[in-house]
Each structure stands twice: as C-alpha cells, then as structure tokens.
Amino acid sequence: MSDAIKVGDQLPETVIGPFDASSLVRYAEVSGDANPLHLDDAVAEAIGLAAPPVHGMKLLAAFEPMLRAWRGDLVIASLAGKFVQPILRGETVRLSGRVLRASDDEIFVRLTAYGAARAPGIVGEATLRPKAAT
Amino acid sequence: MPLEPLRALGPFRLRVDPARVAAYARETGGDCASVPLAYPAVWLSEPSLFSAVHDLCAELDVVPVHESQSFSYDKPLVAGESYDLSVTMSREEAPPRLIMAAIVATPGGETCARIETLLRLVPRAGFGSAS
C-alpha cells in the first residue's frame, strides 16, 4: 500500500482562497456557525484583527480534497486540526502536508495551513489507510 | 486535566441532509461524491446541542473560541441516512476549556465516528463584543 510513500514525502501544496465576505456568509449559513466574529468587521476590529477570520472549520475541511487528490486509493480515517492563529478574510491560504509515519497499514500526515502570517494558522494531522483495511 | 464530567447530552437523532452535504462540500472544496469528513461539525450548531454550550458560557461569562477539532472514522457517513449523536461535555480549568466528545452511531448502535471539539473559554471582558 505504502509503495511510493515514504517518511518525509511532501504532499503537493494546495492554494485556496482568498475568501471574501460572501464566501464567509455562505459558510456560516451552511454550517450554522454564525459567530459575528467571522462576519462583522467591527467585531473583528474590536479584538484587534484587521479583518474577520475565516472559519477554522472551513479551512480544516479543505484538507480532505487535498488528501484525496494526493492518494485517492487510500481512505482518510481521521482528520484533526488545532486552530493556532486566525487566517483572515482576503488572505490566500496555502495547505501543505508531510508524511511523518508510513507503514503498510497506515500513513500519518502532518498538515499545515498558512495565511499571510509567518506562523501557521492551522496545524493538523490525518491518518490514511488502505481501503481494504477499514 | 478534566475538572469534572459535566454532562451527557443526547443521543440526538440527526439526518445527513443530502442538500446540506452538497452545499457544505461546495464551500469546503469537496466534490459532493461523499459526505465530507468535517460535515458533522454542522451538528454542533444544532440548537438542541449548542444551547448547552451557550448556557454554560453565559453562566461563566465567557466566550467560546474554537481551539481544535478532530474527526475519527470507523465507517463513512452516508447522505440521506440518520445517525445518533451522543455528546459528553467536560471542562478543564487551566487553561479554561470545554471539551465536547461525541460519538456518531447508526440507529442500530454501530459506532461510525468519534468527534472531539475543544473550546477555549475566554473571559468576555477580554474579548470585546465578539460573542
């Protein structure tokens, strides 16, 4: 299963966004997360942000298509992320991944999402397995 | 370290609405061919569930800030099917956090997924009006 997958392999970087206000409104509507922090400039400004942050879940969810595009022959058994710092509306987002562990049964990938800041907005992880083993 | 087991919520019988799945996939870059892994996050906004978070935050005068999220699957969810969502809420004190651990199971009791949502509880006074 893990032929051609080795520890240290980099997944092809995926660039998404920038997301505008209407995109955040649509995500709020479909997800039910209508926290005004994501939708109201004044609320974001009140806590020192230059613009509303993109919903962290919208960005975490975007790793799934990246992982499927990388290895569609594997099943994604888990996806997790820590929302380290806000990625703001209008910022281009770079999603990347690197294989930290690889065996015949399981591939463990470190995921990161970067906005305009030097530090990552999301640090995550995913576990992928062969379809026959799930 | 857990402060105390707060409460168990549910199970809530929830349907994976195909139209909402398609909309969620569109907004997160998916292809609508399967239920997005992160789709159960929409259930956390269900009034029957989120009201418990809202009430606790009002009582503590804090604002919940989404700190981390995880989804672990035994089997994929299927659009159009219904599932039972059972949630346990617990708190940590330092730093203040609310942990929501959820299990998604078929109506027959077969576990499909485990979800953990970690909310940092930020004093409202230090968070402007962002609630």
What is residue B75's DSSP assignment? S
Rounded distance, CA B96 to CA B111, Å? 30
Q: What is the mean pLDDT of residues A37-45?
A: 93
Q: What is the mean pLDDT of residues A21-35?
A: 95
pLDDT score, position B50 = 84
From chain A, the residues in CB contact with B75 under 8 A are 134
Interface probe for A, chosen from B65, B66, B115 (most Cβ of A below 10 Å), is B66
Query: What domains are there in chain B, each with its CATH number?
Result: 2-123 (3.10.129.10)
- Contact (CB<8Å) B45/A79: no
pLDDT score, position B94 = 87
Q: Read out DSSP for B31-60?
A: -SSS--TTGGGGGGG-HHHHHHHHHHHHHH
- The more confident residue out of A134 and A50 is A50
- Contact (CB<8Å) B24/A30: yes
Is B63 in contact with B57 (CB distance < 8 Å)?
yes
Residue B38 contacts A, CB cutoff 8 Å = yes
**B82, pLDDT greater than 80:** yes
Q: Read out DSSP for chain A?
A: --TT--TTPBPPPEEE----HHHHHHHHHHH----GGGT-HHHHHHTT-SSPBPPHHHHHHTHHHHHHHH-TTEEEEEEEEEE-S--BTT--EEEEEEEEEE-SS-EEEEEEEE-SSSS-SEEEEEEEEEGGG-
Q: Which CATH architecture has domain A14-20+55-133?
A: Roll (3.10)
Residue B66 contacts A, CB cutoff 8 Å = yes
In chain A, domain spans: 14-20+55-133
**A105, pLDDT greater than 90:** yes
- Contact (CB<8Å) B28/A78: no
pLDDT score, position B129 = 42
| pLDDT tens digits for range A106-122 | 999 999 999 999 999 99
pLDDT score, position A131 = 86
pLDDT class of A97 with cuts at 50, 70, 90: very high
Residue appearing with tokens 């203040």: B96
Angle of CA points A54, A55, A57, to nearest 5°: 135
The three-class DSSP label of residue B86 is strand
Average pLDDT of chain B? Answer: 90
What pTM does this model have?
0.93
- Contact (CB<8Å) B69/A30: no
